[in-house]
Amino acid sequence: MRAYLVAALSLATLAAPLSAAEKPSKAGAPARSAVLHLAPDFSIPSPGNKPRTLRSMKGQPVVLFIADSPKNKSFRQQLEKLYRKYSQFAAEKAIFVAAFREGDGPVHSDVPFSVALNGAAVANAYGVTPATAPKSTRLFGKVSAPPMPAIPGIDNTIGGFNAVVIGRDGNIDSQTSTVLSAQRIIDILQNSFERQAETRKTFVH
């Protein structure tokens, strides 16, 4: 009787459907296991006075730099890092956007930039706090007021600057308060899940 039950349980296990994480995806591609972080929406100016939203840019990667103002030191350093890499960014069809708490540019760079509308709201949505704050709100060099809700696995520390790489699927592939090299940005763009899937399809066909 015991042998019969063991055999029955084994058959039931083999017949059980695969979970979503175990199922292979179409065309033999591995299932996506990474945690997704949908990027908060924002808008940029566009011809015809009709703002273009991040959601409408789906299918193209977006590189978003958030800073207190165009004069922010980290932001200016970041622009210098992009020098002479425009052709590679263009090959990835990347859209570059700057969001400022104060001011609206212009952005002096070899890479074309759009400036997000309502930059302060964009900074808040991505959890980026100002680089400076009244002394009454600082404690041991850090802002003592409750911070914006953090996104798990995303570095959105205090400093008034963040670099955010948003994949073609509209999810955050990288967010950091560190100035990124141009090559690092390109690497993130080329190694996103959507970009790898696109490359696999190219080889399949």
Where in the chain does DSSP place strands (E)?
43-44, 52-53, 62-67, 95-100, 113-115, 138-139, 142-143, 161-166, 172-176
Max mean pLDDT among 7-16, 77-86, 112-121, 151-160 falls in 112-121
The fold for domain 53-204 equals Glutaredoxin (3.40.30)
Q: Quick one: how far is CA 112 from the chain centroid?
A: 19
pLDDT bracket for residue 100 (50, 70, 90) = very high
Q: Is the pTM of this model over 0.95?
A: no
| Pair of tokens at residue 67 | 């800073």
> Structural domain boundaries of the chain?
53-204
- How high is the pLDDT of residue 195? 56
- The model's pLDDT over 69-82, given as tens digits with 9 standing for 90+, comes to 999 999 999 999 99
Q: Rounded to whole angstroms, how far apart are CA atoms 44 and 51?
A: 6
Q: Considering the chain, what percentage of its residues have pLDDT values greater than 90?
A: 49
- The model's pLDDT over 181-199, given as tens digits with 9 standing for 90+, comes to 999 999 999 997 655 555 4
Q: Rounded to whole angstroms, how far apart are CA atoms 10 and 1?
A: 14
Partners of 139 in beta bridges: 142
Scanning the chain, the segments in alpha helix (DSSP H) are 2-15, 73-81, 86-91, 119-125, 182-190, 193-204
Asked whether the bond before 47 is cis by omega within 30 degrees of 0, the reply is no
Q: Rounded to whole angstroms, how far apart are CA atoms 60 and 54?
A: 10
Amino acid at 191: N
Query: Average pLDDT, stretch 119-136?
Result: 80
Q: Quick one: how far is CA 36 from the chain centroid?
A: 10
Q: Quick one: how far is CA 29 from the chain centroid?
A: 23
- How high is the pLDDT of residue 48? 81
DSSP H or E run through 45:
none
| Pair of tokens at residue 68 | 């207190």
Mean pLDDT, the chain, rounded, equals 76
- How high is the pLDDT of residue 132? 62
Q: Rounded to whole angstroms, how far apart are CA atoms 45 and 49?
A: 7
